[in-house]
A and B are shown apart, each in its own frame.
Chain A
Amino acid sequence: MIETFTQVIFGLFCLLTIAGALYVLASDNLLYAAFGLLVSLLGVSGLFVFAGAEFVAVSQIMIYIGGILVLIIFGILLSNKKSSSNDKKGTLHVESQNKIFTMLLCVFLFMILLFFITSLSFNIRPGKDMHISHVKSLGLALMTDYVFILEAVAVLLLAALIGATYLSNSNRNE
Chain B
Amino acid sequence: MNNLTPYLLVSACLLCIGFTVVVSKKNLIMMLMGVELMLNAININFVAFSKFDVIPERGQLFSIFVMLVAVAEISVGLAIVLKIKAYYKDINPDKLDTLKN
Q: Residues of A with Cβ closer than 8 Å to B?
A: 6-7, 10, 14, 17-18, 21-22, 24-25, 30, 33-34, 37, 40-41, 44, 47-48, 50-53, 55-56, 59-60, 63-64, 67-68, 71-72, 74-76, 78-79, 83-84, 94-99, 102-103, 105-107, 109-110, 113-114, 117-118, 122, 124-126, 128-129, 131, 134, 137-138, 141-142, 146, 149, 153, 156-157, 159-161, 163-164, 167-168, 170
Contacts and interface: CB of A to CB of B under 8 A. Distances in A.
Contacts, number: 219
A106 B20 contact: yes
A153 B65 contact: yes
A30 B29 contact: yes
A131 B56 contact: yes
Given A17-B10, A21-B14, A122-B52, A71 B78 contact: yes
A44 B37 CA distance: 10
Contacts of B85: 79
Nearest to B15: A113
Interface in B47-62: 47-48, 50-52, 54-58, 60-61
Instruction: Determine the main DSSP class of A at the interface with B.
Output: helix
Nearest to B80: A167
Contacts of B17: 18, 21-22, 24-25, 106
Contact of B79 (A60, A129, A137, A168): A168
A109 to B, nearest CB: 5
Contacts of B26: 94-97
Contacts of A124: 2-4, 52
A40 to B, nearest CB: 7
Instruction: Determine the main DSSP class of B at the interface with A.
Output: helix
A76 B69 contact: no
A84 B33 CA distance: 23
Contact of A160 (B1, B72, B90): B72
A159 B92 CA distance: 27
